[in-house]
Amino acid sequence: MADELIRTINLTKIYGAGEAAVRALDGVNLTVAAGEFLAVMGPSGCGKSTLLNMLGALDQPTAGEVWVAGENLARLKNVDAFRAKTVGFVFQLHNLLPTLSAQENVEVPMQGQLSAGKRRARAKMLLEMVGLGGRGGALPGQLSGGQRQRVAVARALANGPALILADEPTGSLDTQSGEEVLALLADLNRTQGTTIVVVTHDRRVAQATQRIVRMSDGRIVSDHRLDDPLAEDLRSLADSRLGQAILGRNEMQEDYLDAEERAALRRLLEKAVAEQSETAKRTELKASPVND
């Protein structure tokens, strides 16, 4: 596929060894086209951050391969140069340098890439783009959480990356600031065609994307496009504790529903789950070309 930006092949990551070994990623096959905006969801500890770190060459797999922008990351000659040029990171906690101004923080990744004058001009332009044109001189401590996270997005964009990797970028923000950061990411994706992979717990965040990949125990358990909001709601409900109980996969804690309601909901959820695995199958078929 010409416009493929990311491909992982049986990506596996094991932390530790022997009894203490943790299989954080267990054979993940994920393909992302250039220009996609996708969310990775799943319970805490299922491997989301590990996956993101592998995509950004922040960590190395135990087995399998990661290809980004045509490069096999295990064969990169200069990992730092790859990260600086191709990937922008946004973390839950913004990681801004506290003693540098917003403007200087945005300039940091451009060091060694652009002259001082060009760095300054570009940082200024990026801060304007994230709605902080007037605050370039402020230290991180003088900005709100949402503003700091917008500085972090501007910094991630410093070198015009093809890919933004965001790990719970709205996780430490109030609802409104979270929505602003999210709108910013969606806008970037739409106007600049930046590919964005966002790890999130927040259904509203996920629903602003185009595709949701769900993980559990180091594996991808579902992967679908958000063309049908009702189907998506049903899938989320199916994944919830109540949904899992109705589907008979969990102990029902309390009797939330009477028998008739439960039967109706069960039929809906079974339908949603069946449709989901159909879509996953189709995606998998598409993602594995015959002559590969």
Q: Which residue is nearest to Mg ion (CB)?
A: 49
Which SS3 state, helix, strand or coil, does residue 125 take?
helix
Cβ proximity to ligand ADP: between 157 and 166 the closer is 166
Two tokens at 171? 């996780």
Work out which of 49, 101, 147, 209 binds ligand ADP, going by CB under 6 A. 49
Task: Tell me the two tokens of residue 127.
Answer: 């801060």
Cα separation, 125 vs 120, whole angstroms: 9
Q: Facing residues of 64 across strands?
A: none
101 lies in the site for ligand ADP, by CB under 6 A: no
* Min separation Cβ 203 and Mg ion, Å: 17
Does residue 45 bind ligand ADP (CB under 6 A)?
A: yes
The label of the residue with tokens 């092949």 reads: 9
Q: Which residue carries 């391969």 as its tokens? A: 65
Binding mask 7-36 toward ligand ADP (x if CB under 6 A, else -) reads --------xx-----x-x------------
Nearest distance from residue 50's CB to ligand ADP, in Å?
3
Nearest CA to 47 among 214, 163, 165? 214
Q: Is 29 exposed, middle or buried (0-12, 13-18, 19+ CB in 10 A)?
A: middle
Among 8, 31, 50, 222, binds ligand ADP (CB under 6 A): 50
Interaction between residue 193 and ligand ADP (CB under 6 A) = no
Q: Which is nearer to Mg ion, 24 or 188 (CB)?
A: 24
Interaction site with ligand ADP (CB under 6 A): 15-16, 22, 24, 42, 44-50
